[in-house]
Amino acid sequence: MTAKGAGGSRAGKSSGRGQRDLKVRVKTAKGRKLSSKLWLERQLNDPYVARARREGYRGRAAYKILELDDKYRFLVPGARVVDLGCAPGGWCQVAVQRVNALGEKSGKPIGRVLGVDLQEVDPIAGAEIHVLDFLSDGADDKVKDWLGGAADVVMSDMAAASSGHKGTDHLRIVALVEAAAALAFDILEPGGTFVAKVLAGGAENEMQAMLKRNFQKVANVKPPASRSDSSEKFVVATGFRGRGGDDPADQSG
């Protein structure tokens, strides 16, 4: 999926320029940091940001899960989905549409979407949102109780708070993904899918090995909606083997 950028238009004959520069530039106001100016400028010129506004999504991240699902087809009608760290809710919005949580696709199974986050999230039609620390004791039982059973998909677009140090941030997000995967092992149906954001950095080998022991296929993908200057990528693990794949008893001998 690609997004078209703003095209140029012909300038007046007296300008001597073939095309006008339509890129929005933000003046640095007094007291505004350069980093804030650059972030705002990038947001104003990002075609995915503009598209999200037009199409009613809560953020450009919605297109990342859309593009991943276009390729791997895990958000199917009738699927039960858990979105970890779901704020602001864009991934839940996509899941509601694709799993038919509102029953709008006649003749198709009706799915369920459950979002959890540390903070309150504005309601989303077709999704059930709870405030929960998924790292807390008993979180897996709570999720399964709310969902009414096991999940078909566990997905996470979470990122640990930035420290400003690339290596530290990489280790933090790897640890977060490992924790999310551990929850997924407890709540996924056999054959289920786990999707999570990671940062490229070389420390994720053990995590990748863990996922490969527990899933039939593990892919690492950078969807088009992921900014080219970002080190983020997404792991898509499909075909959950069921509990026991990472049990120490299974690795003896």
Q: Is 45 helix (H, G, I), strand (E, B) or coil?
A: helix
Question: Which residues is 197 bridged to in the sheet?
Answer: 234
Topology, domain 60-251: Rossmann fold (3.40.50)
Tokens, residue 112: 């369920």
Distances in Å between the Cα of 64 and the Cα atoms of 9, 14, 60, 233 are 30, 43, 8, 10
Task: Give one DSSP letter per residue of 166-215, joined into a string.
Answer: HHHHHHHHHHHHHHHHHHHHHHEEEEEEEEEEEE-SS--HHHHHHHHHHE
Please enumerate in sequence order all residues whose Cβ is within 8 A of that of 253, keeping only pairs 6 or more positions apart, or say none: none
Residue 133 has a pLDDT of 96
Q: Per the structure block, which two tokens stand in for 12?
A: 């007046």
Which residue matches tokens 């075609």?
47
CB 248 within 8 A of CB 196: no
Binding residues, as ranges, are: 89, 91, 117, 133, 157
Low-confidence winner among 131-145, 169-183, 185-199 (lowest mean pLDDT): 169-183
Q: Please list the active-site residues.
A: 197
Exposed, middle or buried: residue 158 (CB in 10 Å: 0-12, 13-18, 19+)? buried
115-145 confidence digits (pLDDT tens): 999 999 999 999 999 999 999 999 999 999 9
Instruction: Specify binding-site residues for S-adenosyl-L-methionine.
Output: 89, 91, 117, 133, 157
CA 45 distance to own-chain centroid: 22
Amino acid 25: pLDDT: 46
- Mean of the per-residue pLDDT values for the chain? 82
- The Cα–Cα gap between 216 and 199 comes to 22
Helices 62-72 and 90-98, interaxial angle, to 10°? 40
pLDDT in tens, 10-63: 333 333 333 333 344 444 455 556 555 544 545 555 677 888 898 889 888 999
Residue 52: its pLDDT value, please?
Answer: 81
- pLDDT at 166 exceeding the cut of 90: no
Tell me, what's the pLDDT at 193? 98
**Residue spans per domain, the chain:** 60-251
**Residue 117: in which H helix or E strand, if any?**
strand 112-117
Q: What is the pTM of this model?
A: 0.78
Q: Most confidently modeled of 122-126, 199-203, 241-245?
A: 122-126
- Phi/psi class of residue 96: alpha, beta or left (left: φ > 0; alpha: ψ in -120 to 50)? alpha
pLDDT at 48: 76
Res 252: pLDDT = 36
Question: What order of strands is seen across the sheet that includes strand 188-199?
Answer: 127-131, 112-117, 80-84, 151-156, 188-199, 232-240, 215-221
pLDDT at 156: 97
Segment of 18-32, 77-91, 222-236 carrying the highest mean pLDDT: 77-91
Contact between 236 and 13 under an 8 Å Cβ cutoff? The reply is no
pLDDT at 80: 98
